[in-house]
Amino acid sequence: MARRHAEQSGVMGVDADRLRARMDRLGISDSELARESGVNRDTIAAIKRGQGFRRSSLTKLEAKLSELEEEAGIGTPAGPTEVVEFVYEFPDGSKATFAVRGPGAEDKVARLLDRLRKNPSNG
């Protein structure tokens, strides 16, 4: 199960670093954020360690952090926010989940899928 969550989480290291930085800026602990967001404290700790997690958990945390930053009068730190997730099924029937983050993520995904369709063996 953890492996499946790791695959769904996409760019975990970036997510972990960004979560830690935002929590540090607010001076909020794992327990406080868990209480405020409704996300389990162990899940928050796992994200911060770069372990597998569900994207929906990170989305809840990011929404709560944005709310807390607004209340505190500090802006959300600059960084890529557009994330496009997709599942690609290879000709052999195996599947892979990808997450592309950053400006132009949707265009990058479209180009990648186009390349995969034209040449499924190389990508």
Average model confidence (pLDDT) for the chain?
Answer: 77
pLDDT at 16 over 60: yes
Q: pLDDT tens digits for 59-115?
A: 899 899 989 988 888 876 655 556 777 777 778 888 877 777 666 677 777 787 778
pLDDT at 8 over 50: no
Report if pTM > 0.85.
no
Contacts of 17 (CB under 8 A, 6+ apart): none
Cβ–Cβ < 8 Å for 65, 17: no
